[in-house]
Structure 1
Amino acid sequence: MATEMDQLIQDLRNYRTPSGWHPGAPISRQILWFCVGSPLLSARWLPGSAWRVLLLRAFRARIGAGCRIKPGLRVKFPWRLVVGEACWLAEDAWLDNLATITLGDRVCLSQSAYLCTGNHNFHSPSFELRLGPITIGSDAWIAACAVLAPGTDVGPGAVVALGAVVSGIVPAGAIVRGNPSVVVGERISRSV
C-alpha cells in the first residue's frame, strides 16, 4: 500500500504516453519486428552479418555499405536507425531507439554498449517520458559497456572509453571516460 509521500514522489498509475509520440511504424510492422525480426537479429545460433543488414533494411533501417553486425545486437525500432558505411555493431549492443539513432561512417559500437534515447522526468510524479536522439560522428568508437543518454552527440573521431556514461556533447576527437564522463585526452590521427 502506497503512502502519501510515495504518491508525491512517483505515482506510476498516472503515467501516460506523451502526446503526439508514436512508435513510428504501423502496428503490423511493429508486431512483425517484435515477433520475427528482432529475435532473428539477436539470434546467436545464426552466424553471419550480411543477412542481418538485409533484415534491418527490410524493416526500414538505413544502413550503408560494408557494415558488420554481430549476433546479439538489439534494436528497438529499426525504422529509427541510420547507420553510415563500414560500421561495426558488436555483440550485445542495445540500441534503445525510441528516438532516432544516427551513426556516421566507420563507427565502432563495441560489446554491450547501450544507446538510450528515452528517459523519464524523475522530478514529476507522473514520470513523463523524455526523448532525445543520439548522434555519433564518423570514425568514433563507443567502447564496451559504454552508456549514452538521450540527446547525446558524440563528435567525429571521438572515443567513449570502456564503461563510460555520457550525457551531452563529446567534442570531436576527444577521449572521454568515467561516470559521469570527462575528457581525459585527445585522439591523435596517425597516417598508416
Structure 2
Amino acid sequence: MLYSKLHTILRNFSSTVKGNPAEQCRFDHVFSFPTVKYIALINRLKIYQLYATGLVIPSSGLMELCNVVSENTFFISSYIGLTGAAVLTLGTFPFRNIIGHLYISEDDKKIKISSVGFSGKRIDRIVDVDDWIPLLEMEPKKTDALFLSPQLRDGTKYKLFIKFGVVRNPARMSHILE
C-alpha cells in the first residue's frame, strides 16, 4: 500500500516536472472495449508460462541429476513447458495492438490510444490527429465486418472492435477518426 502511494506521488511529480503538453491537455473518452481486460489476461498468461518454464526446467534437471525423480523428468518438463509457451505465443499473436480505449483531446488535435501489448500490458500512446490515417481513406478489408484496422502514418497497425465496444461519443469519434 505504501509502495502504491509512493509510486503515485512520484508519477504525478515527474509528470509536472516534465511539463509535456500532450500529457497535460484534457482528453474525452470516446470509445471503450470492455473485453480488452480478458485479452490482456490471456496475453499475460504466456509470460507466466515462460517464467514457470524457466523455473521448472533447471529444477527438474537438477532433481534428475540428484536421482530425486525419474530419468525422463527433464525431457518431459522441457517438452510440456516449451510446447505450452509456443502454443500460447502463437495463439495470442493476433491479440496484439487491440485498442481498448480511445480518447480525443478537447481541442481535437491529439488522440490517445490505449492498446494491449505483446505482454498484456496497457500501452498508452498520444499522437497528433494528422498521424491517424482516416478509416474512410483506407481500402476495405475482409475483416472489416469483425474489426476495423486503423493505421498511423508511421506504419503502426491497430485493431478496433467497434461492433463489440462502447462508443461513448459517436459524433466526435466519427468527425476525428473517419
Shorter-chain TM-score above 0.5: no
Based on CA coordinates, which of the two structures has the bigger radius of gyration? Answer: 2
Instruction: Decide which structure has greater helix share.
Output: 2
Higher relative contact order (CA 8 A, sep 6+): 2
